[in-house]
Structure formats: C-alpha cells, structure tokens
Structure 1
Amino acid sequence: MLCCLNPDCLNPLNPDRITNCQSCGAPLIPLLRGHYRIIQVLSDEGGFGRTYLAEDVDKLKEPCVVKQLAPKVQGTWALKKAVESFQQEAQRLQELGKHSQIPTLLAYFEEDNYLYLVQEFIDGQTLLKELRQQGTYHETKIRQLLLDLLPVLKFIHERGVIHRDIKPQNIMRRFAEPQFTIRSNYSSVSGHKRRETKEELVLIDFGASKQLSATVRTKPGTTIGTRGYSPLEQLQDGEAHPASDLFSLGATCFHLISGVSPGALWAENGYSWVSSWQQYLKRPISQDLAEIFDKLLKKDIQERYQSADEVLIDLAPQLPSPQSPTLRRRLLAGTAIILLGFGGFWYINSFYPLNLTAENNFLMKTLNGHSNVVTSVAVSSTSNGITLASGSFDTTLKLWNLTTGKEIVTIEGNAASVYSVATSPDGRIVANGNGHNTIKLWNLVTGQEIRTLYGHSSLVESVAISPDSKMLASGSFDGTIKLWELPSGNEIATLNSHSSAVKSVAFGPNGQTLASGSEDKTIKLWNLKNKQVIRTFKGHSQPIRSVAISPILSESPLSKEGLVGILASSSADNTIKLWDIATGQEIYTFVGHSYSVNSVAFTSDGKILASGSSDHTIKLWDVTTKREIRTLKGHSKEVTSLAFSPNGNILVSGCADGTINLWRVVRW
C-alpha cells in the first residue's frame, strides 16, 4: 500500500502502482526524498501535520518514523513559531540522539513545501497506552520508572535542554522483543533496530524543548506544555528550568500510580491537587516515596528538586544504623533497596540481605567533605607528600593529604559533575573530566587551573595520564577516546572503534599501549604509536565498568608486539576478568561480588587486585593464586572508585554516599 502525504486526506491508504490518491486526488509519492516509503499514518497532529510509519529502502527496508509539518495557523508569527518548534525538535534530536533512550535523528528536509523530520522507529508503546491496558502501576514499578528516566533528564539538562512536555504520552517502553511487523506487497519487516534490543523507557517528542540559558521564556501570552503536567512557572510565566521537567515527571508518576489524569484535576481545581494528591491513590505508598512525590510536585519551584541527581539521592536513602529495630527486621526478612549508580546511568532494584560490619580492623579513616557521589579517586606523590584527588557529582575536585587525611583545597572551577580524575606520576598535574564535555587540568600542588581541553561532544567518563606524565587519554560518552599532549593540552589524536560510551581508559606500563572499556561490552588494546587497535577482548556479558593494567606480572613470554602484562576488567555482570595482554587470552574470572563491579586497581607490584562493587564491598584478590584475600566492609552504598597509594599499603575508595575510605592493606 501507498500512503497519501496530503495532511487533509481522509483516507490516505492507496493500492500500489497508482499515481494519484483515490480519496483526495493528490499525486502519490512512491519514495519520499528518493528512499522513504510511507506505509501508514501513526498520528494526526490536528492542524500541524501528521506522523507516518515508513521504511527506508536504502537500509534493507528498516522501519523509521516520518513527521510532517503542515501547520494550519493564522498569522505570520504563529507560522514562524510552528516552523521554529519543528526545527528545534530536529536540532535537539541531532544533539541528544546518541543516548539510547532518545530517538535518533535520521534526516531533516523540505519537499513539496512541507518540512519532514525522519527519526528512529521505537518498537514499543506509550506509557499512557500501557496504563490503559495493564492498569495502575505498583510502587516498585514507579521506582524503576524514576530510576530509568532520571538519568535521561540528567543527560539532557547537562546539555542545556529542557523537555517541557513530559507526560505518559511522550514516554515509550521499547519492547524487549520485536513486536511490530511492516507488511506490504514487497516486504515483511520486523523489529529492525539501531541498537541492541532491550526493554527500556524512551523519551520522545522534543518539539517543545528549548535550549537552556538562565531561564527559558516564551512570548507573553503563550504556553508550551500540557495543563496538569506542566508547572506554574511554565504555564503562567513561560519560564522553564530543569526543576520544571521534574514537576512534569512527578505528575506523570502520579497519573500512572493513581490512574487519575492531572489534566482533569487541573481543569477542576487548578494546582490545588498537588497538595492533596494522596487522596486519589487506590493503595497507600511508602513514606519515602510519598516524600519524593511531595517535593517533585511543589508548586513553588524554589521548594522543588532542582536536579535529577537530588531525586536519585533520595531514591537511595541512607541505611539505618545496625542497632535500629528497622535494620534488624530487614536483616531477618530482606528488603528492597534501590541502589544509585554513578556517572554511567546504571541502576539496580533488587532484594539482598544487608550485612554491615560495625567494626573493621582494616578501615583507617573516613574522609567527609563531598556533598554528593564521589565518582573518582587518584593518588600521586607530590612535593607536599602523598596527595589524594577526589571528584564528585557536587562539581568539586578536592585535594587531600593522604598521610593526615586533611583536606588541602577544594577546587570549584567545574560547572558540571566531575566524572573522572587522574593524577600525573610526576606529581604536577591533576586532570578531571566533567559533564560539560571538557577536561580541566590543575596544578596538583597549588590547585590552580592550568587550562581546559575541548573536543568531546559528550561528558568525559574517564581520564588517565601516561607513566611519563607526557600524555593524557580521555574516554567519553560520545564513544571516542582522545589523546592529548601534556602540559600543552594539544590534541594528538581521536581513537574511534567502540560503538558505545567509553567508561574507562588505562595506560600500559611502557606508555605505548592503552586499554579502553566500553558500554559495548568490549575491551580494546591500542598501539599509541600508530593509533590502531591491537586486539579486542570479548567475554563479559554486560557493559564494562573499569579496566586496569598490571605494571609487572605476566602469564606468558613477551609477544611479537613487545607486549607484556595482565589486563583486568570489571563489568556490570558482577565479575572481574584477567586477560593476558600478550596473547589476548582470558586467564581467569573472579566471581564473588553480588552486583556490578565498578572499579578495579592493581598494587604497584601487580600482586594484588582490588575490586569495588555496588554490593557495598571491596574485595582484595591474589593475582598469582587467583584467590580472594579478604572482603572489606564499611561503605553504606556503592563503591564507585579505587586507587592504591604508591607503595600499595593504603587503598582509597570512593562511595556513592559522598565519603572516601582509607584502608590498611596488610601484606602476608
């Protein structure tokens, strides 16, 4: 069948091989722009155009979505705004579509006086349709929804975009298995996808989104958003902030858990419903989730959550003390704990027995100072002694005296979350990657800024400095690795081979090799002389979280490439793997953690490997015997990062609760 592209056509479907629509007489276009075959109407935008299902004949008839702009509005200004909104949607998708939970922009063009936007086809259904089919959500499902969508909002807000129209109709659940089949005389196409298929929530319809300045204002007298879901400042004053999206997310959750439309309540009572929302629930919810709803739905923006991170923190509440009756009951029965991930947007919702050790002989000191998740730690010898650097979601970089545990300086020059930290072996430079897609270089002794490095198109997840302190490597959410000259900051090269975000980078002991771990579940080893991949390590079943290269130990003789050493990798599959760099063979898999292993680190002699996990523990492993030495317990939340002191006698661990622990490493 062929679909007529006249937006006023009442019966747009036509048989193949005819030239004019049987309903309206308009000429039929077999292939829009030469390669998009329009199959059917998905939705009619009521005077602004239509959305169509299509197949791209140049890509093996892959399904895609074509949005048409054909506004029927009065006045030049109204037409201009409609076109601007459509163009902005295309621009936002171009900027944000690398995220797996945002549709990818495939094309944007004008044909026959209509504007068209082509985007990724999401094989799924909206949450509004899911609500009507399956009924209201239970609390566990609402928590999971928040954990799935808050990182997406964090992602777009850090890139200066506010969605401004979050509601169940604009959130789709991608089916875990292909459900939709396009059938015509020529094809039967099912479930083509740009990414690996998995069930996840996808945020759609960026037509109302705006780039964020101090605030976003529309023309007086106009509103963008949906009554009931959009907050007062957006509908009344035309302002939009990250907190505005969070109100809309809260209203969406209320609709899904109550079955009552916020739009209907708004029509009857205005904003009074936000203070009495609990009366509409069919079943009570837990106190902590009710408090989160209360804060999401605050009428006054100043009283509302200001960032997605703030909500995520409250979704992972502090555990009670071991002496409390609540904890004793949980120890007996088990409890549902929502664990907050760091930087890489991964989350866990499961049951496990709590086991906090009140007394730990190996815990030397706990450093308090950060107000949010500690994402990365690094240690180096400097002229002032041994210095610890720590980065956090609170946007600060802190330098500490590792011997005394005293804070030296807090560096507040980052305007976004700090995702990664590295110190140079010569003790002069500390580098950090942040959510503004940049790397900042600082003087490790004085804390003064040296320069900012620009080049990545997305947040910088990992940084590492070579053993000779002359090169910096950075891995980014944009899937690339960049090499930089130190201390000049000149870009040397961009390494492209991973198909997803680069989570971790690590130099080999000779400085001529680099290991990188990615969300694509692979580890790659790079030759830095010719900037080529030496080999790819495959074996983990989930994304890679961290990589480290042993400075000394090897399981095999020198290879023909001159490679020697052991590579360690950790993954969201709860395991750590050891690989022979010379041969590329897997040596051993350590199993023992019950959740994602977020960080690994070797001692300077390569004999001990440490691993930190979302199960709140750190494990020390004997690399030679492949046995667990001990488990370190003391953190109340996920262990996000690890680093050994130069002599290997102290292990530093960063935690999602904002603390840093110093551990005594006892040799045997």
Structure 2
Amino acid sequence: MVEAEDIIGGRYQIVKLIGKGGFGETYLAEDQHLPDNPKCVVKKLIFRYCDKARELFEREAKVLYRLGEHPQIPFLFAYFQEKQYFYLVQEFIDGLELNKIIEEGKNFSEFQVISLLREILEILVFVHQNQIIHRDINPKNLIRRHTLDPQLLEEVGDVKGDLCLIDFGAVKEVCQVDAQGQTQLTVAVGTPGYIPDEQANGKPRLSSDIYALGIMGIQMLTGVHPINFQEDPDTRKIIWRNQVKIRPELANILDKMVHNDWRKRYPSAIQALEDLEILATSG
C-alpha cells in the first residue's frame, strides 16, 4: 500500500487512501509540480503484469482521456507504470456521492427520479456515442459538485452543482488478465445489485448501463436496496410496482430499462432519454 507523504510518478504526493477493492487502491493526492499543489485522484491498479495487460491499460487510458473532454467526467491528467504497477491520475471531483443521499428506506418523488435519471442519461449519451460502456453505474460513482452539508439535505433537488460520472469499470478489466494474456471473469466488473446477466457473464452491452440506471430509479422510488429486491420466481422480473404510486408511463420506462433480456431494453442512453423527456414535458 502507498503511504501518506509518498511521491508517485515523481510529482503526486499522497494525502490519504480514499478507496480500496479487489482491483486496486484510490488515493487523494496533491500535484507538487503545479502552483498551490492542486488535489487529484491517483488510482493504483493491482494486476498480474504481462504485455496484454499493458496494452489494455494504455487503450483504456486513452479512452478515459477522450471521455474527459466532457465537463461532467473526470479529466485524465496522466497515466504511467511504476514498480510493476499501473497508475491513473485524474481530476478530483469535490462533492457528495449520491449513495450518501440515496439511502435505504428513503423514498424519492416521481419528479425527483425523472430529474435525476435525465441528468445521468445526458452524460451517458456522450459516453455511448463514443461506443463506451461504463460498466459500473451506481450511486457511489455519481458525485454532485460543491454540495451542501449532507445533514441539511432533504431531497436531491437541494444539492447544487453538476452531477459527475466517475470510475469507469473497463479499466478494472486490466486487473483480470493472467500471465498468458487471457481475461479471467471470476470477479464481475460492477456493483452487486446493479449488474445485468450479460455483464456478469463477461459480455456487457450499452444497454447494461441502462439496466443499472433503471435499478437506481426503482431503488429511489421504493427505498429498497437492489440486493433486497423481490423477483418473480418464474420470470425473474423485479416486483416493485405495488410499492409505489407513480404514473404507469414511468413504470413502463423503468421496466424496459431493467428487462432481463438486453435486446428488449433501450439499446443506449439516447432512446431512454427521449422517452423520459416526453414524460417530463407531459406534466
């Protein structure tokens, strides 16, 4: 593990560990080569080194750099290898993770859910137009910039600032390449409860992101965490409509987003956004 005060890449001084998982570690750092030492995020990937892993890492770093052109996706400042580890250095998003707002047992209104889904889909339209799958849409990977004190928040609408989408899951696949250059799928990239079947089987689609986002919408309406959703034992369809009072048009959109068969979902963000826009303008 990298320690506080360590210098990575000759310029990024570690401040503290802010996240750790099976794929790597995430640190808050300061750039010592710029005035006022601005904060940044340093991600250290844990992987078995091979030429294939390096190739994938460089490819995904280039993807992140391109996606960082969007103002609501962290910009990639640098990527490099040091002591057999790969590192990414990205823009630090100062804000509040949505998982601090979307808590179990808390219900959101139809208006709030539609508003938030539209915000996220607007970012995903850019991502999907670049033929990129995020792979890990969930409340923890969405941050609202410049937030108020969480204790003062009563609804999503009280949070000021742009919503930002972070932590693209494709980079984590670098950590699943073995010494022979083969991808190991023993650990699914994604967050339990938000992963559709095809993604769990190592074949994610653009519509896999739509599934995860639909799950978030149902979570907000019902106040139930996805891992606790009830399913029909025969169809495996999520049972949730009996827990809320919303327009059937919104319920139909959400059911289409979370359909078990990826071919029956919205194929990408633009189609889902179009239906939500129509619903929002219809009152």
Q: 2:264 & 2:125 partners in 1: Cα distance? A: 19
Match of 2:153 in 1: none
Deviation of 1:80 after TM superposition, in Å, equals 7.3
In the TM superposition, residue 254 of structure 1 has moved relative to its aligned partner by: 1.6
Q: Which amino acid aligns with 1:286?
A: R
Identity %: 40
Q: Is 2:20 the counterpart of 1:44?
A: yes
Rounded Cα–Cα distance in structure 1 between residues aligned with 2:191 and 2:114: 23
Residue 247 (structure 1) aligned to one of 204, 211, 220: 211
Superposition misfits of 4+ residues, deviation over 4 angstroms: 79-89, 218-222, 268-273
Is 2:250 aligned against 1:274? no
Give the aligned residue type for 2:241: Q
In structure 2, stretches of 5+ residues that fail to align are: 150-159, 173-182
Give how far 1:264 is off.
3.7
1:104 deviates by: 0.4
Q: Is the 8 A contact 2:104 2:223 kept in 1?
A: no
Of 39, 43, 60, which residue of structure 1 is paired with 2:36?
A: 60
CA 1:37/1:164 → structure 2, altered by over 3 Å: closer, same or farther?
Answer: same
Q: CA RMSD in A?
A: 3.3
Name the SS for the 1:244 alignment partner: helix
Q: Max radius of gyration: which structure?
A: 1
Equivalent residue for 2:245?
Answer: 284
Superposition pairs of residues 535-614 of structure 1, within 5 angstroms? none
Which residue number in structure 1 is paired with residue 258 of structure 2? 297
How many Å separate the matches in 2 of 1:125 and 1:80?
38
Cα deviations across residues 214-259 of structure 1 (Å, max 9, x unaligned)?
Answer: xxxx6676633333212122223x2222111111110122223222
- Whether the 8 Å contact between 2:105 and 2:224 is mirrored in structure 1 is no
Q: 1:271 & 1:175 partners in 2: Cα distance?
A: 45
The letter of the residue matching 1:278 is R
Q: Please list, as runs of the form range in 1=range in 2, the aligned pairs for 1:16-415 lying within 5 A after superposition.
A: 29=6, 31-46=7-22, 48-57=23-32, 58-71=34-47, 86-132=57-103, 135-175=106-146, 199-208=161-170, 223-236=188-201, 238-265=202-229, 274-279=237-242, 281=243, 283-317=244-278, 337-338=280-281
Contact 1:297 1:304 in 2 (8 A): yes
Q: Structure 1 residues 108, 133: CA separation in 2 closer, same or farther (over 3 Å shift)?
A: same
**Aligned-partner Cα distance in 2 for 1:101–1:112:** 32
**Equivalent residue runs for 1:400-549 within 5 Å:** none
Q: CA deviation at 1:134?
A: 9.8
- State the distance in 2 between where 1:84 and 1:258 align: 43
C-alpha separation between the residues in 1 aligned to 2:281 and 2:54? 43
Task: Return the structure number with greater helix share.
Answer: 2
Label 1:311 to 1:209 Cα distance change in 2 as closer, same or farther (>3 A): farther
Kept in 2: contact 1:162–1:240 (CA 8 A): yes
Give the whole-Å Cα distance in 2 for the aligned partners of 1:36 and 1:257.
42
2:195 counterpart SS class: coil
Q: Which amino acid aligns with 2:169?
A: G
CA distance in structure 2 between the aligned counterparts of 1:147 and 1:155, rounded to whole angstroms: 13
Look up the SS of the partner of 1:161 in the other structure. coil
TM-score, normalization by structure 1 = 0.36
Provide the secondary structure at the position in 2 that maps to 1:310: helix
Q: Supply the distance in 1 between the matched residues of 2:200 and 2:101 (Cα, whole angstroms).
A: 27
Q: Is the alpha carbon distance of 1:89 and 1:271 closer, same or farther for their aligned partners in structure 2, counting shifts above 3 Å?
A: farther
Mapped contact 1:69–1:86 kept (Cα < 8 A): no
**Amino acid paired to 1:300:** D
Show CA shifts across 1:15-48 (max 9, x none). xxxxxxxxxxxxx63x3333222111111224x4
- Tell me if structure 1 keeps the 8 A contact 2:105–2:223: no
SS at match of 2:170: coil
Q: Distance in 2 between matches of 1:206 and 1:34?
A: 25
- Amino acid of the structure 2 residue aligned with 1:261: H
Counterpart-to-counterpart distance in 2, 1:273 and 1:257: 20
* 1:176–1:38 distance in 2 versus 1, CA, 3 Å: same
Question: Which AA in structure 2 matches 1:276?
Answer: I
Q: CA separation in 2, counterparts of 1:130 and 1:255? A: 12
* SS of alignment partner, residue 162 of structure 1: coil
Please tell me the residue identity of whatever aligns with 2:90: Q
Alpha-carbon spacing, 1:269–1:41, altered in 2? closer, same or farther (3 Å): farther
Deviation at 1:96, TM superposition (A): 0.4
Instruction: Give the aligned partner of residue 156 of structure 2.
Output: none
Deviation of residue 133 (structure 1)? Answer: 9.4
TM-score when normalising by structure 2: 0.79
Contact in 2 for aligned 1:208/1:225 (Cα 8 Å): no
Question: What is aligned with 2:180?
Answer: none
